[in-house]
Structure 1
Amino acid sequence: MALSAVKRSQGHALIIEDEILIALEVEALLAAQGYSSFDIADSPQEALTCALARAPDLITADFRIIGGTGLEAVEAIEAKLGRIPTVFVTGNADQLANARRTIVDKPISPRRLAEACQQALDRRA
């Protein structure tokens, strides 16, 4: 799949990641896929605040973040806003084995992230 395959979305992405360099890398990769605006949150509470202020079209989340987990953050957001396409970008994929979520292992492969985003969006359709 080409990196441009997700370009049609042109949406807003919420990046839940407590390591700023990784968050900026994910932001750049999503921008290359056509996402036009972003929020970056480093904790479950900040993620929920960002999502309630502007509902994301896509969420990427690390598993281990400040004050909890990305899974807790996503579950809190979805409890308020409903199901949102989500990709977990993590070095702790084993922690999400039973979560039935789309996962991309770190280090991040641009191609794998693009494929995972498309897979998450397709699940919503």
Structure 2
Amino acid sequence: MIIEDEPMVAMFIEEALELAGASSFDIAATEADAVAFAAKHRPEVITSDVRLVEGTGPRAVKQIHDQLGDIPVIFITGTPFECDEQNMSPVLMKPVTLNAVMEAFEKVAPEGDGCSN
């Protein structure tokens, strides 16, 4: 799952994840959409911005974790200082490179090809 409210950034992240081996995606622009999409299709990995046009990525991730259990997360944000200091998820700062996204995904993704997001 990609939680990102900027369409061009979401497409960039999707491309990086595809190159790293991911095969399916839900893209959510709001906190509520992210939670709803996850309830319908449990993601294996989540990438999330922090600030969204409606809500925040970390709150969406918390709700998803509360409902579905632990799912690996990569935060990709222009505001890394807003990520929880106790969070053990990778945090990539925008602007981000394809290689940085791919490497982070490869570190957190469940083993096996065709990981769904």
Q: TM-score range by the shorter chain?
A: 0.7 to 0.9
Counterpart of 1:91, as a letter, is G
Identity, in percent, stands at 36
Which secondary structure does the structure 2 equivalent of 1:64 belong to? coil
Count of residues in Structure 1 that have an aligned counterpart in Structure 2? 109
**Deviation per CA, 1:68-97, whole angstroms, max 9, x where unpaired?**
110000000000000101000001001115
Instruction: Establish whether residue 15 from structure 1 lines up as the match of residue 2 from structure 2.
Output: yes
TM (norm. structure 2) is 0.87
Structure with bigger RCO (C-alpha 8 Å, 6+ apart): 2
Which secondary structure does the structure 1 equivalent of 2:70 belong to? coil
TM (norm. structure 1) is 0.82
Q: Distance in 2 between matches of 1:67 and 1:99?
A: 24
Unaligned stretches of 5+ in structure 2? 111-117
Q: For the aligned residues, what is the CA RMSD?
A: 1.3
Q: Per residue, is there more strand in 1 or in 2?
A: 1
Cα distance change, pair 97–49 in 1 and its aligned pair in 2 (3 A): closer
Q: Per residue, is there more helix in 1 or in 2?
A: 1
Unaligned stretches of 5+ in structure 1? 1-13
